[in-house]
A and B are shown apart, each in its own frame.
Chain A
Amino acid sequence: MSGSGVGRAEKAWDGDGIVGELREELLDRLETRADMARREISFGRTARALMLYIPGMVQESKLEAIRTEMAAFPAPEHPEDGEAAAERLKLRLQASGAERWTGGLEELLKEVQEGSTALLAEGLPDALLVDTRHIEARSLEEPISEAVLRGPRIGFCESLEKNAALLRSYGSVPDLAMERLEVGSAVRKPLLIVYMRDVVQAGLIEEMKLRIRGLEGDDFPESGYIEQMIEDNSYSPFQQLQNTERPDRVMSGLLEGRAAILLEGTPFALIAPFTLPMIIQSPEDYYERWLPGSLIRMLRFFSALIAMFTPALYIAFTSFHPGLIPTKLALTVVGARQGVPFPSLIEALIMEVSLEILREAGLRLPKPIGPAMGIVGGLIIGEAAVQAGIISPILVIVVAITAISSFVIPVYSAGISIRMLRFGAMFSAAVYGLYGVVLFFLLLLSHLSRLKSFGTPFLRPLGSYRAHDFKDMLVRFPLPAMLERRRFLAADRRDPAKPSE
């Protein structure tokens, strides 16, 4: 008999036991819980039991198991037998994770809301709570934002359980530790801090826990919230925690002595501490052989510089220092700029801003149109602008090079940082020319020198002259040389509690 509707329920339970007592209260509370299913099953010959669960959050197989057990379960004859019966039922369902519920009704219903199933049986003094939790998660796919040419095509999904399992199943890792915390006052979500017990940087975990425990907020829908609230310096253009959807990135970070944070509801894990050189690193560097790996990494490094400074240098040289470029090039530029009504800064701004608009638009457009829009937009608008004499063809090249270079950065959020900074460099160049570019560079350098991520200087290991730090900086040494675990974090054992400035 299905038990939907208040009227039916009333008729259904006439008997004694827990159900009868709670009937009024139960009906009342179920009014605002329309998504909770109430199913009546019979057992023994005349006894009834009520199952409360949220369909969609429970494992069908376990529900079946409960029904099966109940069907074969004899009802207690006398009220005194109720206790023994409850115990027996619990044992029968123990494999499915059953417990006797000794708390109040409201709390019971809250548990049901989290995915368990409540079993209220006539004649039994306590309700039983069975752990039937099961959330539909999407299947594991390759992360879109972090595609690699070579490497595992697995990304995290939204289920914390599954993600943790993914890490565990990476290989046999006895020292992998996971600590659980909860965040959010209105919406409580579990969070896991994952690290390797023997390698992790001293004090890192304590500092992390400290910062996380201090978090106040109703809800933390994405790890981004956590990131922004526990990072050392939220005003910096650079992120101080890495976010990734890739388990292999997380694992390699853990092996280096870093720690990861996994949050329920998002496939993006956080890794701390984060340092600047990691921006140009990608897992492929290690999967490919060392020579291509190194060269491509250096290429990325130069692309980052190009992406940041090219428009600024264009402005500096055309508006301030035409004497510093080769004569033939100067002639070309002059020829190209004939008829352009704007000074180079405005010209560059127009193009760069247009490009950013196109890029953002491209992200929101449906998949089939997106890339086409980018190409069409770029080509047509660029070409048209040149024809109309608004911008010079040289600038189109500059902007194109800049745009393409910025896509080379494997860490997407860092790519955003670099794009932002590009504008800063442009303005600096517009006022002070090459001096401005240098000042901007020094400003960046100073800021980065001061920046720390959980106590680790952000620029590590750049600037270190210790031989073993070189092995993985710009050039990637052959694997045998690198297989000793990269020790720079562990060896220094810096205190992460010191604030970054």
Chain B
Amino acid sequence: MAASSFPRRMLAASQIALLLLTGGCWSNKEIETQSLEIAVAVDVPEPAASERELQRKSPGVDRTDRITSTYQLILPSLIGDIGGSTSDETSSSPFKNMTQTGDSLLENVRQLSLRTNAAPLGHHLKVIVIGDRLARKHDLMTFLDFFFRDNDIRLSPLVLICKGKASDTLEPLYKGDIPGFQIPETVRNQYRNNKILEPIRMYNLMSRLHAKTSFLLQNVVKTKEELVYSGAAVIQGTSGRLIGFLTEKDMETVFWIKGGGRKGGLLKLDDPELGAPLDMEINSVRSRIVPSMADGRFAFRIELEAEGDLMESWSYKDAGRGGVSEAFYAEVEKKLERKLKGNADLLIQKLQKTYGADAIGLYESVRVRMPKTWSRIHADWDRHFAEADITVSVSIALKGHGATELT
């Protein structure tokens, strides 16, 4: 048996060999010939200085200006040599930001290949920053479509809004800073405060945009010295556009309403009666949202419960014998509750009246508990939300006061 199948196998083997030799490696592209695209910023069209110069020198391109994208590329040539010469100079800023304005994102990216020998590799993209003016002008889904379709770009990049020019966020803050890496890593500090939203990544974004429900998108602000996560943008479900912003203060309250038991946030009180500011560190938060409907009008009852410790007090009064008193606790609790409820009411007001968009996701409770109703009215949800009757009730329990016996 072996003898007779040998010629046959040789035939098959030679066919394969022939195939390989004639064809060669088609998809072969050495790693050092490509640049890693780690961040992209998209803005309203505003050609960069270098672009304008290019235009002057070589006019007559078949392009209108619809969108400006800035790519943060890690260029292989900038990474530095092998062998002994590791050192600071090589690792200082191994990237280059390249701005391109054009009709579409695909075209912009392809244009880059005219400008650099190292074609960008989208696989390592970590963050996409969207300028707020662009987001107001267009439905997010339109210009993000490219990122969804491209088979190299994954669904994992973080998405952020920037109030101002998005491309500024890609500028390094200090020697050695690579914003494309820094920005996503900062998001992980979320657990230490309650003002940053859970990171929204492309896969999240895709679902929400397609569902046409309103939502919040984290905002970053760039000053000369710093890049700060601050506030959030309200994206309207029906249009997919940015319609406004929530402040940091609002974000705190959002965190409360969304609940989720996140630790580490704080609630502060600056009550004239107490005489000095006082902070409570939140140990756990529970939020219950109960929807109901009557005569075509929705009503929500939001119940917030929280537990925490007194973590900072500028009045540090000595508790005296008997320790911190129950009465004191009760008083503080009540004041905190009132404060929180006030904040929440303000937020709801803002969302209902100013923006008319259910950006905090109250619709979830309707979708889950009243699915038949939801399927009827979901296309028009924001309107129903704006007309809904929303009440907030808060209950706070102070459990401890840290390691000191002061109040």
Q: Do A and B bind each other?
A: yes
Beyond A333-B32, A433-B27, 5 additional contacts (C-beta under 8 Å) are: A320-B27, A335-B76, A389-B82, A431-B23, A501-B2
Question: Which residues from chain A contact B5 at a C-beta distance below 8 Å?
Answer: 501
Partner-binding segment picked from B121-129, B244-252, B383-391: B121-129
Residues in A neighbouring B25, C-beta threshold 8 A: 319, 345, 430-432
Contact B79 A319 (CB under 8 A): no
A192 to chain B, nearest CB (A): 27
Contacts of A371 in B (CB 8 A): none
Residues of B within 8 A of A393 (CB): 82-83
A window 229-256: CB within 8 A of B: 233-235
Residue in B closest to A499 when the chains form the complex, CB atoms = B1
- What are 27 A-B interface contacts by the 8 Å CB criterion? A319-B28, A319-B29, A320-B29, A322-B121, A323-B122, A323-B124, A323-B152, A327-B36, A327-B124, A327-B126, A331-B74, A331-B94, A334-B74, A337-B31, A338-B32, A338-B76, A338-B80, A338-B81, A338-B82, A339-B82, A343-B28, A344-B30, A393-B83, A430-B25, A431-B24, A431-B25, A501-B1
A318 interface residue per 8 A CB criterion:
yes
Q: Mark A327-352, 1 if CB is under 8 A from B, else 0.
A: 10011011111111001110000000
- A334's contact among B20, B24, B31, by CB below 8 Å, is which? B31
B34 contacts the other chain (CB 8 A): yes
Which DSSP category, helix, strand, loop or mixed, fits chain B's interface? mixed
Q: Which of A331, A389, A430 is close to B36, meaning CB atoms less than 8 Å apart?
A: A331
Whether A337 contacts B32 in the complex (CB less than 8 A), given A235-B2, A322-B123, A387-B83, comes out as yes
Contact with A along B137-153 (1 / 0, CB 8 A): 00000000000000010
CA A432 to CA B6, docked complex, whole Å: 26
Contact A318 B1 (CB under 8 A): no
**Contact partner, B82, options A322, A336, A344, Cβ 8 Å:** A336
Please tell me the size bucket of the interface on A: 35 or more
Residue in A235, A327, A335, A386 whose CB lies within 8 Å of B38: A327
Assembly CA distance A211 to B23 (angstroms): 44
A318 to B82, CA, bound (A): 16
Nearest CB in chain B to that of A320: its residue: B27
Shortest beta-carbon contacts, A-B, top 4:
A323-B123, A322-B31, A335-B79, A337-B32
Whether B2 contacts A335 by the Cβ 8 Å rule is no
- A430 close to B9 (CB less than 8 A): no
Q: Are A234 and B80 in contact (CB under 8 A)?
A: no
Q: Which of A324, A334, A432 has a CB less than 8 Å from the CB of B32?
A: A334
How far does the alpha carbon of A349 sit from the alpha carbon of B281 in the complex, in Å?
A: 61
Q: Are A318 and B27 in contact (CB under 8 A)?
A: no
Closest-CB distance, B210 to chain A (whole angstroms): 25
Q: CA–CA, A27 to B78, complex, Å? A: 91
A281: interface (CB < 8 Å)? no
Q: CA–CA, A349 to B36, complex, Å?
A: 27
Tell me, in angstroms, the Cα distance from A387 to B213 when the chains sit together. 59
Whole-angstrom distance between the Cβ of B377 and the nearest chain A Cβ: 43
Q: Please give the distance in Å from B1's CB to the nearest CB on chain A.
A: 5
B77 within 8 A of A: yes
Question: Does A392 count as interface, using CB distance less than 8 angstroms?
Answer: yes
Once the chains bind, are A318 and B126 in contact (CB under 8 Å)? Answer: no
**B31, B76, B80, B81: most-surrounded residue (chain A CB, <10 A):** B31
Distance in angstroms between the alpha carbons of A335 and B80 in the assembled complex: 6
Cβ contacts under 8 Å, B32 to chain A:
333-334, 337-338, 340
Alpha-carbon separation in the docked complex, A465 to B250 (Å): 59
Q: What's the Cα separation between A59 and B309 when bound, in Å?
A: 98
Asked if A331 contacts B79 (CB within 8 A), the reply is yes
Residue contact B80 to A233, C-beta cutoff 8 Å = no
